[in-house]
Structure 1
């Protein structure tokens, strides 16, 4: 009897080991090129730039089949500059993403760690630039809606539903990791639908006291947020709300898109949108942006994609207000499924009291216009 029990236990252990299957995948993107700016703080400039079309990165993605439709999953993703090899995202080892969780065929996915919010997960893939159809210079002014990933969220728990006939939902909550529970916490909700030629998405994000007093342990760390030096009117906001809705429609070789996003930076303690680096004269208090974008993409061949986007942004702060008009256009030529060449051009014009600022790795234009052109290569592995 004892021998039979031991044999049965050994067989069960062997069967479990045979059933559980796991894999770890190494992946990454390397992207670099040359960027021309006609007015970079009053001077024209040529720069070698990394992460133009997509951010340069490497990472590890893992999955273990636990049986009955349940999987353990993780992702570790590190960003860096291709032109000098330095780490991005404030020097973090895995600054882009670092999370672990469980995925169920029936109940959806639950993950914990440093992650994206619902705006980034659902709205960004429908935006002309963050869909990787164009380079980073086509994001909305000052990346006010964070579709360009100016910040990521620490201490985040995320639940994503299964895909139900094209519908999927998401909710996130990020802890302050402090005894002051409401200081530097965040949450977001979103939903998306994809069916046939149509893709739709909507999302909302709220940050409470982000980057509070140079905090590095809360949901939004101060060293991975809007720049305190160049954009204090965004970096010192007591609350941040960002929301949006977007859709695309495919017709043959063409894809048409329409997107609206808004953002509200409540009661900043320093700076003004209409003074200093970004403008001159007037404005104090909360800063609000409204972005409206129309876009079109067309595949001339499976190897050649042309993209164009037009964005209008209205900004207000107190009694001050202004507008940005931005045109983005470019071509991608796919040498293979993993390698492509790109050439893009961007033009931004602002109204009175605002300076154009497309190339935020440089200085704002000293006038109301700025032109940026970029050419480069991207390889995925």
Structure 2
């Protein structure tokens, strides 16, 4: 539920129409839980965890009617850790989103600022982490569906929906004299018709994380701990992401298929490549109770070396009200011997073996 903040004192305004033409809305999510992991660097762990099913946030979204169908829009969205109160996304005040733009129903929307790319907008809504906790995302969030990074300095165009088809284009500027260092571009298509949803998207980042001012800032990119076969994802000179996805709903069930790929080009040691394949199902057991299950297979290759991950994610969610729910999720990951360690994305540390098991229970409230 949202609350309109603007229009206070509207009776003092001469036209008396400001309330109908412009508004600012405050919204947010708070999500806290308790997680158990059977093996983190050789030890079991109990941890208070923030943002399991949804990252804690508060934000402001505003719109002004400019006439003839044209509207000015903005969104400022803060992310934080509910367990200790610190800012998220590298300590940014509005690290989740910060943009302003213009939109109209007949020509689409053009926005500028810190934004999600089309991979995140289109593909992530069909991946199982849109229902279960973040630990159900793919290893190291290699496809950025768990929003490891957003795109700064970006201009983004979203077309109107025509017969269910919608296109998205985005460009992120380097903000340096070297135009090609730490810039990005991305594009995507989505289609919705009745119970069917389809999506495809591509994104390319040049020298991501190489500067603080670029499209992908160094303070909001992969950590040095994210590595496979001794190759650090954070050292990529170029990153490419691509994906296709689809869901189909019938009765109380929704079936989903997701494929994503990522390629991290390195100055040395060649490229590190991931291919993620996922099948998932969501089922409404009752109006208040939802269950979800997913299996994901991730293949990894670097030169002549290769390996893989298997991961199963499952959980239930119970709505106490329209705004409040409780949840219980479980996750199991098995890595090949060539990789050596399992590491469920979102957990603090990897397993000391090739398998890792985790459970999380928590509560989420939306306002």
TM-score (norm 1): 0.90
Match of 2:206 among 188, 198, 208: 208
Asked if residue 226 in structure 1 is aligned to residue 216 in structure 2, the reply is no
For the 8 Å contact 1:76–1:97, the answer to whether it is kept is yes
In structure 2, the partner of 1:274 is none
Residue 346 of structure 1 and its aligned partner are, at CA, apart by 0.3
> How far apart, in 2, do the equivalents of 1:224 and 1:251 lie?
39
Asked if residue 297 in structure 1 is aligned to residue 282 in structure 2, the reply is yes
Structure 1 residues 102, 20: closer, same or farther in 2, change over 3 A?
farther
In structure 1, the partner of 2:45 is 45
SS of the residue 2:285 aligns to: strand
> How far apart, in 2, do the equivalents of 1:341 and 1:245 lie?
31
Structure 1 residues 360, 293: closer, same or farther in 2, change over 3 A?
same
Residue 248 of structure 1 and its aligned partner are, at CA, apart by 0.3
In structure 2, the partner of 1:367 is 353
Asked if residue 335 in structure 1 is aligned to residue 320 in structure 2, the reply is yes
Residue 20 of structure 1 and its aligned partner are, at CA, apart by 7.1
For the 8 Å contact 1:183–1:208, the answer to whether it is kept is yes
Asked if residue 26 in structure 1 is aligned to residue 26 in structure 2, the reply is yes
> How far apart, in 2, do the equivalents of 1:207 and 1:27 lie?
31
Residue 76 of structure 1 and its aligned partner are, at CA, apart by 0.1
TM-score (norm 2): 0.93
In structure 2, the partner of 1:125 is 125
Structure 2 counterparts to residues 40-189 of structure 1, below 5 A:
40-129=40-129, 131=130, 133-189=131-187
Structure 1 residues 21, 228: closer, same or farther in 2, change over 3 A?
same
In structure 2, the partner of 1:356 is 342
CA-to-aligned-CA distance 1:85-135 (integer Å, 9 cap, x gap)? 000011100000000000112110000000000000000101111x2x100
For the 8 Å contact 1:37–1:359, the answer to whether it is kept is no
CA-to-aligned-CA distance 1:307-344 (integer Å, 9 cap, x gap)? 00000000001111001000000000011111110000
SS of the residue 2:163 aligns to: coil
For the 8 Å contact 2:200–2:244, the answer to whether it is kept is yes
For the 8 Å contact 2:30–2:56, the answer to whether it is kept is yes
Structure 1: any 5+ residue segments left out of the alignment? Answer: 1-12, 270-283
> How far apart, in 1, do the equivalents of 2:214 and 2:141 lie?
21
Structure 1's consecutive aligned runs of 4 or more residues displaced over 3 angstroms after TM superposition are 13-20, 229-232
SS of the residue 2:208 aligns to: coil
> How far apart, in 2, do the equivalents of 1:345 and 1:141 lie?
16
Match of 2:194 among 175, 193, 196: 196
Residue 19 of structure 1 and its aligned partner are, at CA, apart by 9.6
RMSD of aligned residue pairs (Cα, Å): 1.5
In structure 1, the partner of 2:332 is 347
Asked if residue 377 in structure 1 is aligned to residue 363 in structure 2, the reply is yes
SS of the residue 2:281 aligns to: strand
Aligned length: 351
Asked if residue 287 in structure 1 is aligned to residue 272 in structure 2, the reply is yes
> How far apart, in 1, do the equivalents of 2:349 and 2:330 lie?
18
Residue 353 of structure 1 and its aligned partner are, at CA, apart by 2.2
Higher strand share: 2
Structure 1 residues 17, 348: closer, same or farther in 2, change over 3 A?
same
> How far apart, in 2, do the equivalents of 1:127 and 1:235 lie?
24
SS of the residue 2:121 aligns to: helix
Structure 1 residues 104, 236: closer, same or farther in 2, change over 3 A?
same
For the 8 Å contact 1:239–1:267, the answer to whether it is kept is yes
Select the structure of larger CA radius of gyration.
1
